[in-house]
Amino acid sequence: MTVEKLNRREVVKKLISNRNNLLIISGLGSPTYDLHDAGDHNQNFYLWGAMGGAAMMGLGLALSQPKKSVLVVTGDGEQLMGVGALATISVQMPKNLTIAVLDNEHFGETGMQKSHTGYGIDLVGIAHSAGFPISRELTNMSEIEVARNDILLNNGPMFLNIKINSQSPDRSLPTLDGVELKNRFRVSLKS
């Protein structure tokens, strides 16, 4: 029996469906389009570049906003480029940070070349070895629903590797204006 892999858009919608005060950073490429497609929000910060930096940006944000939950949604290629960040995050142990990798095992933006996870490299194992107290692989929507609730418990740091199919839905593009993205995020935190 073959189990159908998850759809990235449905995953992200479900993962943030009770977001409350959740602060979200998306990694460049499809995760940014997925987050925008799930609903634009002043407390979404979309990366359009800076590959490898999403998790670390999440760490800086989580440390400065310890009472809020911070979610980083990124891709397998992006996280692999910043894989050392998993060690850096574990040293700090921010309870309010979740790193969710949408793992399609490919570099989807650049011609669907197979990524390291496609060759069997295990990000959940890497995060576990790096010291994340919670590191899970998610393959169905009921696990996504559980994770959605766990994100808001601030018992992390938590690492989620979500196996998705490698389809590329139509792009859903947020503004490219980084200054606007930064300013609206900061203003929303002050109000």
Residues of this chain that interact with another protein (CB under 8 A) are: 23, 25, 45, 47-54, 56-65, 82, 84-85, 87-88, 91-92, 178-179, 181-182, 185-186, 189-190
Asked if 95 and 155 touch (Cβ cutoff 8 Å), the reply is yes
Nearest to another protein of 87, 112 (CB atom): 87
Q: How far is CA 21 from CA 44, 126, 127, 148, 183, in A?
A: 11, 29, 26, 13, 17
The Cα–Cα gap between 157 and 2 comes to 32
The CB-of-159 to another protein minimum distance in angstroms stands at: 16
Q: Which token pair is 6? A: 């998850």
User: What is the number of residues in the chain?
Assistant: 191
The CB-of-151 to another protein minimum distance in angstroms stands at: 17
Q: In the chain, at which residue ranges do the beta strands (DSSP E only) sit?
A: 23-26, 44-46, 70-75, 97-103, 106-107, 113-114, 134-138, 158-163
The CB-of-64 to another protein minimum distance in angstroms stands at: 3
The CB-of-16 to another protein minimum distance in angstroms stands at: 18
Nearest to another protein of 1, 179 (CB atom): 179
Nearest to another protein of 171, 182 (CB atom): 182
Nearest to another protein of 14, 116 (CB atom): 116
